[in-house]
A and B are shown apart, each in its own frame.
Chain A
Amino acid sequence: MDLIFDFLSQVQASSSYLARWDVVLALLVGSVGGVLIGAIPGVGPAVAIAILLPATFSMDPIVGLTVLLGIYGSSMYGGSIPAILINTPGTAVNALTTYDGYPMTTRGEARRALSLAYSSSFFGGIFSVVCLILFAPILAKIAPMFGSREIFLAALLGIILVVTAHRKHTLIAAAMACFGIWLNTIGLHPASYSKRYTFDQSWLSGGVNLIVVVLGLFALSQAFTLLHGDDEKVRLTKLKGSFFQGFRELARHPRIAGISATFGVVMGMIPGVGEFTAQFMSYTYAQKSSKRPEDFGHGSSEGLIAAETANNAVPGAAMVPLLALGIPGEALTAMMLSVFYVHNVIPGPQLFQNDMDFVVALYLALLILNVLVVIFLLIATNQLIKVVKIPNRFLGVCILILSFVGVYSLRNSLTDCIIAAAFGIFGFIMKRMQLPVVPIVLGMVLGGIMEVKLRSAMARVKTPLDFIDRPIAAILFAMIVLVLILHFRRVWLDHKERKTDEWQISHASTSFPAILSRRRNYILTERGKKLRAKRKTFSRRLTDKD
C-alpha cells in the first residue's frame, strides 16, 4: 500500500512536468503525427524519428521525448489502417495484422477490423503503461543494484539477443553489430586520447555521429528505395458500421487480450527482442488456445486482437531498459537515448533515484497519448485513410527534403551529409538484400556503453570469476550462456531439418557414370536375386542318388 501511496504522490509531483502548453502541443503533435506517419506505407516511425531528432534537441527533454514517444507509440495504430484496408502494413510490425485484417476487409468487415485493431492497440498501450507505473517503484529499488559490470553484461546480452533474434540471418546480423561497434570506435580514444581509424583525416577525429548514421540508414535509404520503386494502385473500401463495436468485441476476449499484452510487456522489457517476438508468441498462443484455430489467417478476430495488443504493449515496456539502465533495446529507443545525452540527462539507475518525477511524467505522457490517439482515430479515420493514396515516389521526394533538415541542422556540415548519403546507399543495398540494419545502430550504441563499462568494471576485478560474483551479474551471465546454448541448439536442429528435407527431395543423379553404377548395383542385388530364384525353380532337387 505504501508503494502505491508513494507512487500517487509522485504522479502528483510529475504532473507539473505535463501541465505546460509546449508539452500539451507535443502530445498532440506526437499522437496525430505518429498516426499519420504510421498510416503512410513506406515512411514508418524510424524515418520520422530520425528526421525529427535534431529538431528536438532545442526543446526541453520532456517536450522532445514526448514528441518522439508519441510517434513511436501511435505509429502502430496508424500502421494497422493500410494493413487492414489494402493488405500493406503501414509499419513493419503491422505485418501480422494483414493476416486477419485484410481477409475481414474482403468480407466487407473493414470497419469491424479497424475498430478491433484500435481497441486492441489501446488496451495493449494502456496495459503496458499501467504495468510500468505499478512496477516503477520496484524498478527504482532494483536499478541501483546495477553497477558497471551488470550494465556491461546487460548490454552484451542485448547485443546477443539482437543478433540471435535475426533467425537465419544471424551471421550477417553479427557482422553488422560488429560493424556498429567498430564505427563507434572511430575517432579519439576517450581514455588515452589516441587516434583510432582516423586515417589522418581531421573530419574523422570527432568520430562518426550516431544520428548521421541513423538518418542515412533509415531516412535516406528509405527515400532511395521509394524513388527507385514504382507506385502501387490503391483501391479503398467504403467503411460501414460503428467504430465502438471493437471495444465490445474485445471485452469478449479478455484472456487473449491480457496474455498478448503481457507478452508485449515482457518482450518489450528485454533488450533486442521487441514487437516481432511478442506478436509471434501471442499469435501462436491465441491460435493454439482458440476454439476455431482454422480461422487464423482468414479473418479471425482473435488473431487480430493478439497481434495488435502485443505490438502496442511494447513501446511502453521498451522504455524500461532505456530509463532504468540506459540500455536501448532497439533502434528507436537508441535514437531517443541521444535526446537524453544532448540534454545531459543520463538515463540509468541515478535517473530513477534522483528524478523519478521525470520518469513518471514520461509514463503519464504515454498514457495520455494512447487516449488522444484513440479519440483522434474514432473521429478522423474516414479522412485519414486518404493518406495511403500518396504516391510512393512523391513520398521519396518528401523524405529526401526532410532528411536534409535532419542531417544539415545537426552541425551545418557538408561532411555529415556525405556520410549520411553513403550510409543511405549502404542501407538501400541492405534493404534490397533484405539484410538487417538495426544491429549496426545497436552495435554503435551498445558498443560505446560496453567499452566504458568494461574499462571501469575491470579496474576492480582480479580474477575472471570476480566479474560475476554479484547476484545480478551472475543472473545476467547465466542468461547469456542460456541464450547462446538455445541459439546453437536451434541452429543444430534447423541444420538437421534442412538435411532431412534435402534428402527427401533429392532425386537420382542423371549423369552417365551414376546410371552405370546403379545398373551394376541392380544386377548385383535385385536382378541377381531374381536370377538365383529362377534357377532354383528349374533346378533339380537333390536326391539320395546324388
Chain B
Amino acid sequence: MSDEITEHPDRPQRGQVLFAALFLICATLLLAAIEDQTKWLKGKDFFAQPRFWPAVGVGGMVLFTALHFWHLPRKPRRLPRWMREADWFQWAESLFWAVLAIGLALWLGPISAAPMVFLVAIVRVTWLYQHWTDRREAKIWVSVFEWAGWFLAYVLLVPLIGYLPVTIAFSLILTWRVGYRSRLMMWSAGVFAVLVVLVFKSFLQVKIPGAAIYEYLPGALRSFFILNF
C-alpha cells in the first residue's frame, strides 16, 4: 500500500491532518483563554492595549490553521466493516457529537461555548479523516521523546557530576546506543567530547557551573576543575 494518502508533489501527506488538528486545538484553547490571560486597560489606545498583539498572534494561528486544515487533501477514514454497515452506529456517532456541542452551549452559554464547539468540530473531522499512516507517523513523533529524554538527562547530570565526565560518558553511551560499536567510532566519540569541553569550557569560558562532585577534590585541584572542566 502506498505511504501517501493522495499524490501530492510538495510534501508528504502522512500526519498532516493530525498535525493541523492538534495545532488548531491548541490555538483554539489559547484563544479561549485570551480574556483570562491578558488585560484590556481602560483609557489606553487600541493598538497599545496589552491584549492587541496576543490577539493578532492567536487569532492568526486559529484563522490560518483552520484554513490550512480545510484545504488539506483528505480521504475519509476506512472504518471497520461493522461500523460501516451498522446504520445505528452512524446515527449514534452523529448524535454523540451534536449532543456534546449542544450540551457545552447550554452549560457554558453560547459565547463561551463557541470555541469548545469549534474544538468538538475539529475533533470530529479529525476522527473522520485520520488515516493509518497518520497513526504510524504519530508513533514516530512519540519515539523522538527518547532523544529529548537523553538530552534532559545530560542537562540534569552536568551540575552534579561535572561537564567533562558527563560529556564523555554521554557521547560514548549515545554513540553505542545509535549503533556504532567499532573501536574507531568509540574513540572518535571520546575525543570529540574532550575537544568540546576544552574549546567551550576551558578556552571560551562559557558559563557552565562547576559540578557538585568537584567539591570533594583537594584544594588547588578543586578550583582548577571548577574553572576548566
Contact = CB atoms under 8 A, between A and B. Distances in A.
B203 to A, nearest CB: 10
Nearest to A392: B178
A177 B44 CA distance: 26
B147 A171 contact: no
B167 to A, nearest CB: 6
Size bracket of the A interface: 35 or more
Given A197-B38, A224-B147, A417-B152, A174 B57 contact: no
Q: Is the interface of A mostly helix, strand, loop or mixed?
A: helix
A192 B52 CA distance: 13
Interface string A457-471: 011000000000000
Contacts of B54: 182, 185, 196-197
B185 interface: yes
A396 B180 CA distance: 12
A418 B148 CA distance: 9
Q: Is the interface of B mostly helix, strand, loop or mixed?
A: helix
B98 interface: no
A15 interface: no
Given A178-B60, A401-B171, A412-B208, A194 B39 contact: yes
Contact of A393 (B27, B33, B141, B180): B180
A455 B60 contact: no
A169 interface: yes
Contacts of B47: 454-455, 458
Interface in A165-218: 168-169, 171-172, 174-175, 177-185, 189, 191-192, 194-199
Interface in A402-430: 402-405, 407-410, 412, 414, 417-418, 421-422, 424-425, 428-429
A169 B59 CA distance: 19
A175 B68 contact: yes
A458 B39 contact: no
Interface string B208-222: 110000000000000
A432 interface: yes
Interface in A34-92: 54-55, 58
Contacts of B170: 401
A432 B140 contact: yes
B79 interface: no
B178 A393 contact: yes
Contacts of A191: 48, 50
B188 interface: yes
A451 B200 contact: no
B89 interface: no
Contacts of B144: 224, 228, 425, 428
A475 interface: no
B162 interface: no
Given A182-B58, A432-B15, A458-B48, A228 B143 contact: yes
Contacts of A394: 175, 178, 180, 185, 188-189
A433 B17 CA distance: 10
Nearest to A428: B144
Contacts of A493: none
B188 to A, nearest CB: 7
A416 to B, nearest CB: 9
Interface stretch (B100-108, B113-121, B122-130, B153-161): B153-161
Contacts of A393: 178-180
B69 to A, nearest CB: 9
A435 interface: yes
Interface string B172-194: 00110011100001001100110
A501 B53 CA distance: 41
Interface string B36-71: 011101001101101101101111110011011001
Contacts of B44: 192
B152 A421 contact: yes
Size bracket of the B interface: 35 or more
Interface centre among A184, A224, A405, A447 (most CB of B within 10 A): A405
A172 B15 CA distance: 14
A407 B150 CA distance: 15
Contacts of A356: none
A434 interface: yes
Contacts of A421: 148, 151-152
B133 to A, nearest CB: 12
Given A194-B38, A434-B10, A447-B57, A400 B64 contact: no
B60 A424 contact: no
B48 A455 contact: yes
Contacts of B209: 412
B151 A400 contact: yes
Contacts of B67: 171
A440 to B, nearest CB: 11
Given A55-B206, A223-B147, A228-B143, A181 B60 contact: yes
B202 interface: no
Given A397-B178, A397-B189, A197 B196 contact: no
A387 to B, nearest CB: 13
B207 interface: yes
Contacts of A455: 45, 47-48
A161 interface: no
Contacts of A239: none
Given A189-B50, A412-B209, A397 B143 contact: no
B171 A228 contact: no
B81 interface: no
B15 A168 contact: no
Contact of B19 (A224, A403, A433, A443): A433
A391 interface: yes
Given A417-B152, A417-B155, A432 B56 contact: no
Nearest to A193: B50
A398 interface: yes
Q: List 4 tightest A-B contacts by C-beta distance, closest first.
A: A182-B57, A178-B60, A175-B64, A181-B57
Given A175-B60, A182-B61, 9 more contacts: A58-B204, A169-B11, A182-B57, A197-B33, A220-B148, A396-B147, A405-B200, A417-B151, A417-B152
16 contacts: A169-B10, A178-B57, A179-B61, A181-B53, A394-B180, A397-B174, A400-B154, A402-B196, A404-B151, A405-B196, A425-B148, A428-B144, A432-B141, A434-B11, A435-B19, A455-B47
